[in-house]
Amino acid sequence: MSRIYPICSSSSANSIFIGTRGHGIIVDAGCSFRALKNALSLIGTKLDESGVEAVFITHEHTDHIKGIEQLIKQTKIPIFASNGTLEAMFPNGTEARVFDAEEGYHSADFEVNAFHISHDASMPVGYKIRFRDDTFGICTDTGIVTADAEKALLGCKTVLLESNYDEEMLRKNLNYPPDLKRRISGEFGHLSNAACADFALRLVKSGTRHIILGHLSRENNTPNTAKNCVEKYLSEHGFINERDYTLNIAPVTTSGEYIAV
């Protein structure tokens, strides 16, 4: 049985495990090595080469790579990212086993391909993952859904999609200066609940059956706000949650629950 296991998901830390109990891959390592190790232990998976065959990085921001340094020191798990991300992560080079994700990855169980997203980082990417007979898409930290992302994600069985902020909450947030608000809502920022809902509709129409909302802002969003926005929009277009698709929220920090597909 295929599993997607959001280890952590927020503006502070992001990491996702995909595979079966005991073996799979990780997308992003934005929490500490200890947190990654403890989270995987909850599903009977070791944070070493026997449990994780590869780690795929979307971009170099801290909330996606915090655990990489210790992961490199304590394991021999290979690291994949775009060339631009690898250069940003390791400006002085590294002895770690690192590879260009844009060349694609193939193993006995997995096929992983990168696609370009729109974010203020060096060559950020999302990932389309084929695991046995299931397809997964991971798309966060993107100001818009790029044509490359849409082409990759339409038809995926399960998609973890960014639903970062509620537009009204962001507008009213007195703690955020105008420049930061413009960055978040801009083309190279993050995906709003409304934009997420719009793309979620296209996903469901294309055959996607499981949608997971991720990378929610803890200051400009709430799980209920994000979920209600997407659910209401899809309902208005004739698609009903738990009948035509399932809708979940990736937790800020896992309690050991995964989503089986």
Q: What is the pLDDT of residue 260?
A: 74
Tens digit of pLDDT for each residue in 178-187?
A: 999 999 999 9
* Residue 156 lies inside a defined structural domain of this protein: yes
- Residue-wise pLDDT tens digits, 1-20: 789 999 999 999 999 999 99
| Integer Cα distance of 93 and 86 in angstroms | 9
Nearest to 210 by CA among 250, 257, 255: 250
Residue range 97-149, pLDDT digits in tens: 999 999 999 999 999 999 999 999 999 999 999 998 999 999 999 999 999 99
Task: Indicate whether 261 belongs to any domain.
Answer: no
- Asked if residue 103 is part of any domain, the answer here is yes
pLDDT tens-digit readout, 197-246: 999 999 999 999 999 999 999 999 999 999 999 999 999 999 999 999 99
Does any domain span residue 125?
yes
- pTM for the model stands at 0.97
Residue 257 forms part of a structural domain: no
125-135 residue pLDDT tens = 999 999 989 99
Rounding to the nearest 10 degrees, give the CA dihedral for residues 247, 64, 137, 52: -110
Range of the domain at 247: 3-251
Amino acid code (one letter) for 248 = N
Number of domains forming the structure of the chain? 1
3-state secondary structure of 123: coil
Nearest to 124 by CA among 93, 88, 155: 88
Check which CATH number belongs to the domain holding 242 and give it: 3.60.15.10
